[in-house]
Amino acid sequence: MAKLSLQLKLGQQLTMTPQLQQAIRLLQMPVMELNAQIEEALETNLMLEQDEPESGNNDSAENDSTESDVVEGDEYENPWDEGSGSGERGPDFQVELSDTSAETLKEHLLWQLEMEHFEPREVVVGQAIVDYINDDGYLTETPSGILATLPADGAFSIDEVEATLAKVQVLDPVGVGARDLAECVRVQLGLLRTDTPGRELAIRITEDSLGLVADNELAMLRRNLSASDEELEQALELIKACHPRPGSAISNETPEYIIPDVYIRKQDNRWVVEVNRSTSPKLHINQAYASALASGEAHSTLRSQLQEARWLIRSLEIRNETLLKVAICIVERQVDFLEHGEEAMKPMVLRDVAEAVEMHESTISRVTTNKYMHTPRGVFEFRYFFSSQLSSADGSGESSTAVRARIKRLIGEENPLKPLSDSKLAQLLEAEGSNVARRTVAKYREALNIPPSSERKKRATH
């Protein structure tokens, strides 16, 4: 007789409904693109209306402006009694800075290889895989071809390549690294909850019937799958919600301005986190049309628009809630940076935040890309606060960002006629408690665009 047992298994799964998929798409958008999306929705959806600013005296106008930035539930205070308070911003304070960064898809993926839970061998394989992913996000080389490019002395196997490829495919953007459209869509569908209506049928369609979808042969598709009209409609909606070219979601275009998504400030020895509500208009449902539908007047278009309007409003709420959660988590972990600067930066990877806010790592990657935080030390992309962990002499970890800052400081303090070699820098870092190899020092120095000691000496003597 078989023995029955109860096992408890912990794990993370990204719960993806069509509404949440929309919320994540909005979450990925920078502020200016989000506003354009909202404007388009206001123009095409009769059920959506924008709140008009109230008219009144100067005092009330000022209060309205303040409340657009700081509203109930958008302020987080934690009594971290360290240091003195910083200057406060006025109610109409708005920061717009030029952004000179332009991240490619390859850079975005390589960053995640470092920030997510990849073993050292997987990082080597993952870097080789990323080299063969095109701008649309598709893999242009076979696993066996990728295997041939790996170091021979590493004794890598085809199974390692396939397993690492599967991990790369669920990075942000999900579906990147797929070998064809069917696999790309199937990977995205695989992250849906198993009880999502239409999920299993949608996955079956990707296995051998996507051509019928493209040709709009729905009758034949229905017969082949023995599916009802409702089941097929649910499956097709899920497929349509997937991104056929996931790589294109990572834009190489440089935005003209940076508008902070959140503000961080010190008030009464407490760090305060605020979502910048002024960056997007407040929306509500047109009650006149909604009342007409509630009274029983049938109008399928309006009913559809009402549902879309509700989803959009809720998606914007989810966006703000998620930004706030992630920002709070970052501030809690990086308060030493806010107080003391780069050399006090703590190591932090995507998994740390994902576990703290109970979200999938790929979602955290979306949240931290092209989202900006205004702090007393400047305006930073959320991703700036993430860095890998290096060992230190006392056994604790320190961030690669902090080590890079120390290298920059040591070189800035050197005698220009006797510049420090990478080996000497490694020795000085070790004396300060950091165990950093010479090759790592050279890597970080190059990342800082600092020439080697020989070139620095030549410049000093000329």
Q: Are residues 131 and 224 in the same domain?
A: yes
pLDDT computed for residue 295 by the predictor: 63
Q: Are residues 111 and 238 in the same domain?
A: yes
Q: Are residues 397 and 378 in the same domain?
A: no
Residue 214 in domain: yes
pLDDT computed for residue 248 by the predictor: 83
Q: Are residues 241 and 288 in the same domain?
A: no
Q: Are residues 292 and 402 in the same domain?
A: no
- Residues spanned by the domain of 32: 23-49+72-83+257-382
pLDDT computed for residue 58 by the predictor: 41
Residue 95 in domain: no
pLDDT digits (tens, 9 = 90+) for 133-149: 998 899 999 999 999 99
Domain end position, chosen among 320, 352, 382: 382
Print pLDDT tens along the chain (462 aa): 445 555 554 444 444 566 666 777 787 787 778 888 888 889 888 889 987 654 444 443 333 333 333 333 335 443 333 333 333 333 333 344 444 455 788 888 998 898 877 888 999 999 999 999 998 899 999 999 999 999 888 899 999 999 999 999 999 889 999 999 999 999 999 988 888 889 999 999 999 888 888 888 888 888 888 888 888 988 998 888 888 888 887 765 555 567 888 999 988 888 999 988 777 778 888 888 877 776 665 577 788 888 888 888 888 888 888 889 999 999 999 999 999 988 899 999 888 999 988 888 888 888 888 889 999 988 899 989 998 877 665 556 788 888 999 999 999 898 988 999 999 999 999 888 888 889 989 988 988 889 899 888 887 776
Residue 17 in domain: no
pLDDT computed for residue 447 by the predictor: 84
Residue 58 in domain: no
Q: Are residues 358 and 394 in the same domain?
A: no
Domain end position, chosen among 382, 402, 427: 382
pLDDT computed for residue 98 by the predictor: 42
Residue 407 in domain: yes
pLDDT computed for residue 132 by the predictor: 92
Domain end position, chosen among 331, 353, 382: 382
Q: Are residues 35 and 115 in the same domain?
A: no
Residue 6 in domain: no
Instruction: Give the residue among 451, 449, 447, 410 at the shortest CA–CA distance from 432.
Output: 410
Say how far apart CA 14 and CA 358 lie, in whole Å.
9
Q: Are residues 164 and 243 in the same domain?
A: yes
Structure token pair of residue 59: 């005092």
Residue 372 in domain: yes
User: Between β-strands 262-267 and 372-375, what pairing exists: parallel, antiparallel or unpaired?
Assistant: parallel
pLDDT digits (tens, 9 = 90+) for 298-340: 577 788 888 888 888 888 888 888 889 999 999 999 999 999 9
Counted domains in the chain: 3
Say how far apart CA 198 and CA 200 lie, in whole Å.
6
Q: Are residues 366 and 439 in the same domain?
A: no
CATH number of the domain within which 456 lies: 1.10.10.60
Q: Are residues 269 and 398 in the same domain?
A: no
pLDDT computed for residue 433 by the predictor: 84
Q: Are residues 240 and 111 in the same domain?
A: yes
pLDDT computed for residue 81 by the predictor: 33
pLDDT computed for residue 434 by the predictor: 83
Q: Are residues 222 and 350 in the same domain?
A: no
Residue 188 in domain: yes
